[in-house]
Amino acid sequence: MKKCHFKNLMLPIAILIFFGCQQQTKQKEETPSKDYLNETKAEKDNRMRWWREAKFGMFIHWGPYAIPAGTYEGKQISGIGEWIMNNAPVPVEAYEDFSRQFNPVAFDADEWARIASDAGMKYMVITSKHHDGFCLWDSKVTNYDIMDFTSFRRDILRELKEACDKYGVKLCFYHSIMDWHHPDAQSAFFPNYNDKEKSNPNFQRYVTDYLKPQVEELVVNYDPAVIWFDGEWIKDWTHENGQEMYRFLRNLNPDLIINNRVDKGRQGMQGMNKDDEKKYAGDFGTPEQEILEGTSDFDWEACMTMNDTWGYKSYDDNWKSSDTLIHYLIDIVAKGGNFLLNVGPTAEGLIPQPSVDRLAEMGDWLAINAEAVYAAGSHKVYKEGEHIRYTVSNDGKYVYAIMLKWPDNNSLMLENVIPKAESEIRLLGYDRPLSWEVDPEESELVINLPKELRDEAKRPGKYAWSLKIPI
């Protein structure tokens, strides 16, 4: 709801709000502005701790684009679903009709948070606003939101906040800098550029009067753990804008984590920052639809779709298997990254069943292998051959060798870990210790897997198995 609606409220409430605002302004003025771009390593380590231990998060792309679901005027539109406004293209007024119709009556925040939590996901990043400009919360800055523009009139982000708190999942917001709907954010790149004479766009005015106050609302009213910017590549958004936004938000909440797309450092889909003299704002790199080749000193999170679209497309059935997704998670964690795996709910508010099925299988796998994944650091090498990935417990007492494939001869040889003498090597999910020896000539560890586990059905879980090795 926009601010002007307050004029209809009763006088006493208006007075209360007035004094409340005065108080808030006073507090803001009194808070010294700290330069969070220059924090120490210890400060950053402390702030990033929960995120580094979380490893696995749910990405949610959801908005009015779920209504056309990839089809406009009878034609299937190529490209990712949430880009339909740009790709079809759909003029602003016609797209607003979709937004007006957005009525996800089957949306159940509790169910979404439960699905994420059961999958072993520790955080959720939902599109507060994607490039189409439509807002999923009750914004005072615009009427182009779920409360004022639709008959649904439920604050989606508020409901998710409550549900995520209940399940111990941290709620985070994706927020697009690029905005195809706002008149001041139109540029030659956008579908409605031809209307620009009507509006005389002024991008910096959009930043000051719209983008910043909106993200401020999100941070102050919903306390997100991460702000995940996107759409920063447009030329109107500058390095200075990025620095200033980062400082502004960290001053609102010093614990906030912000991705590197707040600034101009990201190098395409590889997602890590350019290596130049500029110091870019942002706390972690964002590889998109890819996994880094190796480890990195800069925190990173790979975001990925389960099929080929972020926003729902009714006819995209190119689903990755659970096997593949679990192996991606292991590979990412071994290389020191996080995995942000996307779902694109339908216009009714349902997470598609193929996504639900895969998430349940990932949750089953993590229920057995959790300790090899969470709070795990990187070993001196992250892999051995094609089928072994390594992690290390945070206390440094155990190395986990995760087998992506069951060894053909039922015994495993490892070159990169020597166990503590007389210690017990265990297979997570199996109740007896395994026999092992170190080949003195080769200084190779040989682990003998129990004969009964030649039978796939008797193994603890499917797709990958973790050996816990005391060091």
* Binding site residues, ligand FHN, CB under 6 A: 61, 80, 82-83, 230, 288, 303, 310
Percent of residues in the chain assigned helix, strand, coil, to nearest 5? 35, 20, 45
Cβ closest to ligand FHN, residue 171 vs residue 303 = 303
Tokens of 240: 């200075």
Cβ closest to ligand FHN, residue 333 vs residue 340 = 340
Torsion of CA 307, 272, 133, 341, to 10 degrees: 30
Minimum CB separation of residue 268 from ligand FHN in Å reads 9
Cβ closest to ligand FHN, residue 60 vs residue 347 = 60
* N- to C-terminal Cα separation, the chain: 58
User: Phi/psi at 84 (nearest 5 deg)?
Assistant: -60, -35
Minimum CB separation of residue 273 from ligand FHN in Å reads 15
Minimum CB separation of residue 87 from ligand FHN in Å reads 11
Rounded to whole angstroms, how far apart are CA atoms 113 and 120? 11
Nearest to 406 by CA among 423, 430, 424: 430
Cβ closest to ligand FHN, residue 82 vs residue 179 = 82
Rounded to whole angstroms, how far apart are CA atoms 33 and 36? 9
Cβ closest to ligand FHN, residue 82 vs residue 184 = 82
Minimum CB separation of residue 317 from ligand FHN in Å reads 20
Nearest to 334 by CA among 285, 293, 389, 286: 389
Minimum CB separation of residue 130 from ligand FHN in Å reads 6
Rounded to whole angstroms, how far apart are CA atoms 342 and 381? 29
Ordered alpha helix ranges (H), 108-181: 109-118, 156-167
Minimum CB separation of residue 63 from ligand FHN in Å reads 11
Q: Which long-range contacts (CB under 8 A, 24 or more apart) does 114-117 make?
A: 114/163, 114/167, 115/58, 115/351, 115/356, 115/359, 116/58, 116/164, 116/167, 116/169, 116/359, 117/167, 117/168, 117/169
Cβ closest to ligand FHN, residue 83 vs residue 312 = 83
Minimum CB separation of residue 438 from ligand FHN in Å reads 45
Q: Report CA-CA distances (Å) from 201 to 131, 186, 195, 333.
A: 16, 6, 10, 44
Cβ closest to ligand FHN, residue 176 vs residue 393 = 176
Minimum CB separation of residue 119 from ligand FHN in Å reads 19
Rounded to whole angstroms, how far apart are CA atoms 342 and 60? 6
Cβ closest to ligand FHN, residue 179 vs residue 288 = 288
